[in-house]
Amino acid sequence: MQKFHSDTERVLAGVLERDARRWFRPVAGQFNIYYRSGANQPEYVPDFVAATADHNLLLLDVERFVPF
């Protein structure tokens, strides 16, 4: 059983299971994607990587980062 950080991630995994050709949850260091945050350059680790019939996607559960 997968462990998810939020209910939104769990729901998104269900959608991906149904609609994506393949998907996985990457780990730190699997991609070399960094972003600038002030003087720092932290690593970006997407919550999910998915492939559909038409697109490759990097997905992030923004609910964890953006308070509404």
pLDDT tens track for 18-51: 999 999 999 999 999 999 989 999 999 999 999 9
Residue 1 domain-assigned (yes or no): no
Segment holding 17, helix H or strand E? helix 7-19
Instruction: Show the domain range for 20.
Output: 7-61
pTM: 0.76
> Of the ranges 8-12, 39-43, 58-62, which is most confident?
39-43
Residue 46 lies in a domain: yes
Task: Tell me, yes or no, whether 57 lies in a domain.
Answer: yes
Number of domains the chain is built from: 1
Q: 47 CB contacts (<8 Å, ≥6 apart)?
A: 5, 9, 12, 25, 59, 60, 61
Is 34 a member of any domain? yes
30 part of a folded domain: yes
